[in-house]
Amino acid sequence: MTTENIAGLISGLAQKQPERTAVIDGGRTITFAALQADIDRLAAGFARRGIKPGMHVALLATPSIEFVSLTFALFKAGAVLVLVDPGIGLGPMKKCLGQAKPEAFVGIPKAHAARLLLGWAKETARIHVTVGRRWFWDGLTLEDVRRAGDGAPVPQTAPQRAAILFTSGSTGIPKGAVYTHAMFSAQAKMLRDYFDIQPGFNSVPTFPLFALFDVALGLTIVIPKMDFTKPAKADPAMLTGLINKYSAVQLFGSPALIDTLSRYGEKNNIKLPSLRRVISCGAPVSQKIINRILKMLAPGTLLHTPYGATEALPVACINSDELAALPKQHKGTCVGKTWPGMETFIIKITDSPIEKWSDDLLAKDGDIGEITVKGPVASREYFAIPQSTAHAKISGENGAFYHRMGDAGWKDGEGRLWFCGRKNQRVITDKETLFTIPCESVFNACPKVRRCALVGVGEKGRQTPVLCVETEGPQDETALRAELLALGAEQSHTKDIKTVLFHPGFPVDIRHNAKISREKLASWAEGKI
């Protein structure tokens, strides 16, 4: 699957399955042939209205038929899409748009209102397109663009750069990873081949980027009615209803969404017999959640948990059967074997930039280090942040490069990767270095614990390890604290954790609602001890 422009995937599908429904959006549907026609019309209209190849275009639209058409039309026109998660916050959003310098702003009315009131892309955006009704601002509507495209030549662009995808900023400032059309094409091919995704079936995606991949791979996407910035709050009755109504074979959801869905299913004895695969990524998925969701699925249906990041996805994967067969141990979360086509390495931990690759960087077999990757789906740079690029990329031979994931981990004798937490969240005491996931797994085994988070209070090198705990319903905190300390005392790497604090609800990332914001918890804990 190679294509000069990722929009070419839709063109191929429109020829192979023209009458197949591409998108189901509430009561509206569109076939692949009609979708391709709309993409061509919009791409021509954008070109006539001043969108030139290489131009940065901010796209802020909610998942819908229009979102799919717009994305591939802008790709076809040669635009570089600037994609920022709207849940990131008003201030960070302005900063990201200021950094990416979009010359055009395409968005729903709410996004345009924010643009005017908050000055988003004020200095650079000169073309404004409203997806919906235009209120008190100038510019074009989507219908204006369509009309401009009537009878106009369809652009045939083959640019290298495709998009700037901003990270969620859950462990630092949001950074714009530069994506090429080759990267998107490689991702689509790797997902298709690994999961054996065949056209002609239905999918319920709850993350916008995966919705686009599903359509590009020939699946009919059923768009759920939900706030995509708050997956944990998605209505599980609505989701199960859609899956069963349309006999969906695939569900993608963050661990937080799968948690919500599985709790609902367990409580109401809901089954999802049509699903052939459930895919969840963004954070580790606990065994408790896996056990609950598997009860809802037909025998033999697996939960897959790919590992990666905005800058490199996919990197590795493991499924629920493989997880169940792993030996019991407390040295991280297994994220599986390296994805075919990718290479993974464990390098010695350092917080400094590394300019040139050398085998001397490699950690000893079995030691925890930083996970580093190489392959066709790794982003080469962050847009306009050379210092961040220098910290995350290592130059190799003949123009090759390596991406540092910023994650601590190790490889076992079978070549499987084990995730041990974010490198910058490790706790460094005066005696040892503690990694979050291996420590937390000891305490998460307690059925009274919903989840826990290890944080460090104080200066690195002399930090006090603190265990923050979110419980399963109301608990006797005094008794539970004693129980957890006893559990910790049984393991060599947790025996020195003596402080346990109970938190009403962990702060989490805005994209998946699953990554725990340990920096915020550390500040909270500092005021409690």
The two tokens of residue 152 are 């106009």
Q: Strand pairing partners for 252?
A: 205, 279
| AA letter at 417 | L
Cα separation, 369 vs 347, whole angstroms: 5
Q: Strand pairing partners for 347?
A: 362, 370
Residue 98, domain CATH = 3.40.50.980
Cα separation, 155 vs 128, whole angstroms: 20
CB count within 10 Å of CB 37 equals: 15
Q: Are residues 30 and 169 in the same domain?
A: yes
Residue 418, domain CATH = 2.30.38.10
What residues contact residue 224 under an 8 Å CB cut-off, 6+ apart?
204, 206, 234, 238, 239, 242
198 vs 119, 276, 484, CA distance in Å?
44, 12, 47
| Residue 191 forms part of a structural domain | no
Q: Strand pairing partners for 393?
A: 403
Query: How would you write the pLDDT of the chain (529 residues) with one tens digit per residue?
Result: 556 899 999 999 999 999 999 999 999 999 999 999 999 999 999 999 999 999 999 999 999 999 999 999 999 999 999 999 887 888 899 999 999 999 999 999 999 999 999 999 999 999 999 999 999 999 999 999 999 999 999 999 989 999 999 987 766 678 999 999 999 999 999 999 999 999 999 999 999 999 999 999 999 999 999 999 899 999 999 999 999 999 999 999 999 999 999 999 999 999 999 999 999 998 889 899 999 999 999 999 999 999 999 999 999 999 999 999 998 877 999 999 999 999 999 999 999 999 999 999 999 999 999 999 999 999 999 999 999 999 999 999 999 999 999 999 999 999 999 999 999 999 999 999 999 999 999 999 999 999 999 999 999 999 999 999 999 999 999 999 999 999 999 999 999 999 999 999 999 987 777 889 999 999 999 999 9
According to the model, what pLDDT value does residue 459 have? 96
The helices-and-strands tally (H runs, E runs) of the chain is 16, 26
| AA letter at 211 | A
Cα separation, 283 vs 265, whole angstroms: 21
Cα separation, 440 vs 321, whole angstroms: 22
Task: Write the DSSP assignment of 131-182 as a string of letters.
Answer: SS---SS-SEEHHHHHHHHTTPPPP----SEEEEEEP--TTSS--EEEEEHH
Task: Give the residue carrying structure tokens 């080469």.
Answer: 380
Contact call for residues 204 and 248 (beta carbons, < 8 A) = yes
Single out the residue of 97, 105, 83 nearest to residue 208, CA to CA. 83
- The model carries a pTM of 0.96
Contact call for residues 525 and 455 (beta carbons, < 8 A) = yes
| Residue 233 forms part of a structural domain | no
Where are the extended beta strands (E) located within 159-285? 161-166, 176-180, 202-205, 220-223, 250-252, 277-279
Q: Are residues 41 and 144 in the same domain?
A: yes
The phi, psi pair for 135, rounded to 5°, reads -100, -100
Contact call for residues 315 and 344 (beta carbons, < 8 A) = yes
| Residue 394 forms part of a structural domain | yes
Q: Are residues 411 and 435 in the same domain?
A: no
According to the model, what pLDDT value does residue 1 have? 54
According to the model, what pLDDT value does residue 17 have? 98
According to the model, what pLDDT value does residue 173 have? 79
CB count within 10 Å of CB 485 equals: 17
Cα separation, 119 vs 280, whole angstroms: 36
| Residue 231 forms part of a structural domain | no
Structural domain for 46, as ranges: 8-180
Judge residue 171's burial from the number of C-beta atoms within 10 Å of its C-beta, 0-12 exposed, 13-18 middle, 19 or more buried: middle
Which of 180, 212, 228 is a domain's end point?
180
Preceding amide of 314 cis, omega within 30: yes
Where are the extended beta strands (E) located within 239-301? 250-252, 277-279
According to the model, what pLDDT value does residue 170 have? 66
Q: Are residues 347 and 496 in the same domain?
A: no
Count of structural domains, the chain: 3
Q: What is the dihedral of CA 190, 196, 197, 202, to 10 degrees?
A: -150
Q: Strand pairing partners for 369?
A: 409
Judge residue 329's burial from the number of C-beta atoms within 10 Å of its C-beta, 0-12 exposed, 13-18 middle, 19 or more buried: exposed
Q: Are residues 406 and 439 in the same domain?
A: no
Cα separation, 319 vs 271, whole angstroms: 20
158 vs 26, 181, 368, 519, CA distance in Å?
34, 8, 42, 42
Cα separation, 148 vs 501, whole angstroms: 61
Angle (CA) 95-98-100 rounded to 5° is 110
Q: Are residues 93 and 168 in the same domain?
A: yes
Cα separation, 125 vs 117, whole angstroms: 14
Which of 422, 438, 464 is a domain's end point?
422
Q: Are residues 413 and 506 in the same domain?
A: no
The two tokens of residue 450 are 């919903």
Q: Are residues 173 and 103 in the same domain?
A: yes
| Residue 265 forms part of a structural domain | no
Contact call for residues 369 and 308 (beta carbons, < 8 A) = no
Single out the residue of 518, 474, 510 nearest to residue 228, CA to CA. 510
| Residue 241 forms part of a structural domain | no
Which of 180, 208, 233 is a domain's end point?
180
Contact call for residues 232 and 262 (beta carbons, < 8 A) = no
Cα separation, 110 vs 119, whole angstroms: 14
Contact call for residues 235 and 262 (beta carbons, < 8 A) = no
Residue 501, domain CATH = 3.30.300.30
Task: Give the residue carrying structure tokens 């919500």.
Answer: 260
Single out the residue of 449, 442, 432, 456 nearest to residue 486, CA to CA. 442
CB count within 10 Å of CB 102 equals: 25
